[in-house]
Amino acid sequence: MLPTITIDDEKCKEPLSCRKCLLICPSYVFGLGTNVGPQKFREIALSHFIVRGVRFDKCSGCMECVEICPQNAIQVSF
Amino acid sequence: MCVWCERYADGYERWYFNPANYARRLYKIRKEEVEAAGAEANPQAAGGMSLLGRDFLEAKERNDIEAMERMRREAEEISWRTHFGQVITLDDALKIADIMYPIAVMTCACRRSMQGLPDEENFTCMGMGPGMYKWERWPDTYRGGVQFLTPEEAKEVLTKLNKRGLVHCIYTFGTPYIGGLCNCDYPDCGGIRTRIDHGVRVLWKGHQVAQVDPELCNGCAACIHRCQFRALSFAPTRNKAYIDPIQCFGCGLCALECDQEAITLVERSSLPALVEAW
Ligand code: SF4
Ligand code: SF4
Ligand code: SF4
Ligand code: SF4
Ligand code: SF4
């Protein structure tokens, strides 16, 4: 079953400096991108980075990401 | 035969040994499709290279083969035209280091997307060809900068990354122009993941296939962890390494780890069932 994963960008302001969810997820479900398009090799201000669920098919629902997020920004539901 | 060799080898043994395929015209190539493909919907596109979004995963879940096939074909078409890869052995990568100049290491976009790795820990991707000079000239436009390498240094870096367990892949930037000499693994590389997780051929298998010689293999299992493609496992009953020839991408990492020289790479073209299994 695919989960719905939401990240509150208002709470997660600088994911590149935090990246706790990216590192803890056992199955690399999250992806780090930007909200200004896929300009993958440009210098982009830290505030433009966002985290999203990408590999939903690999999510077990372990909730480690929800627990570790210091901003309470992540919701995972099935 | 590899269609890329058929089209672009021009007499060379493999298409990626043809120097013409590195001579990209800088004033021409624009990856408009990729740039336009909405980062909000697919942030992986911003750092990795997955051309598949949630709609593909949903189609997979409801077993909608038709929709999956359509999305797969679309993703492959875009990728083959703009940006796709092929697995190569360390030997071939070292040869490329001799025919191609300049070569530079730089930050790996996939690992940045997957792990948010800072540039200092993330110089595992290599870029080649005249495109690299743009990165040098406009460092503010191209994040993280590049570090140019002499051919000998490039070979050292490639060998070190291979030791670490990374697979070498060449990538086109506007096919047939090859601009990337990538060093990748599962689970970190978007290309390997798209191929292994979903069977979408943004990454092609290499020109060879690994085989275990049961006479020479002593069952030490030292090679098993090297495979990034789920082709290699340990067969307890035979007490030997086991390689699935259909699944093998021919990277050669396992062979380099075996001190019994029990693993050899044979040409894909010598195996009738695998000739077209890219
Ligand atoms: S753990 Fe929370 S705050 Fe940190 S990057 Fe992830 S979503 Fe953002
Ligand atoms: S619930 Fe577990 S598997 Fe799913 S995204 Fe969070 S950490 Fe990853
Ligand atoms: S293809 Fe490999 S080296 Fe290139 S960006 Fe992806 S993981 Fe990094
Ligand atoms: S490293 Fe060589 S000898 Fe050891 S299991 Fe693998 S193939 Fe066999
Ligand atoms: S079996 Fe060996 S050559 Fe084949 S993909 Fe795995 S590590 Fe590479």
Residue range(s) occupied by CATH 3.30.70.20 in chain B: 208-274
Ligand 1: residue whose CA is nearest its atom 6: A21
- Summarised one tens digit per residue, pLDDT across range B177-192 is 999 999 999 999 999 9
CA distance B162 to B97: 14
Chain A residues 42-61 with a CB less than 8 Å from chain B? 42-44, 50-52, 54-58
Kind of pairing, strands B232-235 and B240-243?
antiparallel
CA B107 to ligand 3 center in whole angstroms: 9
What pLDDT, in 10s, does the model give residues B13-36?
999 999 999 987 766 555 544 443
CATH of A4-77, one of 3.40.50.1100, 3.40.190.10, 3.60.15.10, 3.30.70.20: 3.30.70.20
CATH number of B208-274: 3.30.70.20
The predicted-structure confidence for B226-262, as pLDDT tens digits, reads as follows 999 999 999 999 999 999 999 999 999 999 999 999 9
Q: How far is A16 from chain B (nearest CA, A)?
A: 6
Q: What is the pLDDT of residues B75-86, one digit of tens each?
A: 999 999 999 999
- Contacts B113 to A, Cβ<8 Å: 31-33
Amino acid letter, residue A40: K
| pTM for this prediction | 0.93
> How does pLDDT run across B140-164, given as a tens digit for each residue?
666 777 899 999 999 999 999 999 9
Determine whether the shortest distance from the Cβ of B179 to ligand 3 is under 6 A. Answer: no
Residue B14 is given by DSSP the state S
Per-residue pLDDT at B42: 45
- Mean per-residue pLDDT of chain B: 90
CA angle B50/B208/B97 to nearest 5° reads 75
Predicted-assembly ipTM surpassing the 0.85 threshold: yes
pLDDT at position B142? 67
CB contact under 8 A, B115 and A57: no
A5 pairs with which residues across the strands? A76
Instruction: Give domain limits for chain A.
Output: 4-77
